[in-house]
Amino acid sequence: MASIQRVGTIVNTAQGLVVVRAVDASHPDPGTAVIDEQLDAVGQVVDVFGPVERPYVAVSPASNAERVGLLGAVVYARPQGE
């Protein structure tokens, strides 16, 4: 069973997406589920862009995600099958 991986911190919302600044060069692949510290769904990774050393991760928000309260939140990648 894979462990939950810290993705980074939500820094913005733009064009209907949540933008996360990754903590380092490692990042989840597109299609990976993203959750918050309470294990609630935030959304799904749709793109990774920016500097290789610390990229940005674009997340398509879950329909129930409260976007206004997300800025500054730390989010995590939920491994496939969990």
Q: What is the CATH number of the domain that holds 17?
A: 2.40.10.230
Domain total of the chain: 1
pLDDT given for residue 65 in this prediction = 61
pLDDT given for residue 1 in this prediction = 44
Phi first, then psi: give them for residue 18, nearest 5 degrees. -100, 130
CA dist., res. 10 & res. 77, Å (int): 13
- The pTM of this model reads 0.88
| Both structure tokens of 80 | 């496939």
Could you list the residue range(s) of the whole structural domain that residue 32 is in?
Answer: 5-78
- Each residue of 19-39: pLDDT tens digit? 999 999 999 999 999 999 998
Taking 70 as the pLDDT cut, the residues of the chain under it are 1-2, 64-68, 81-82
pLDDT given for residue 19 in this prediction = 95
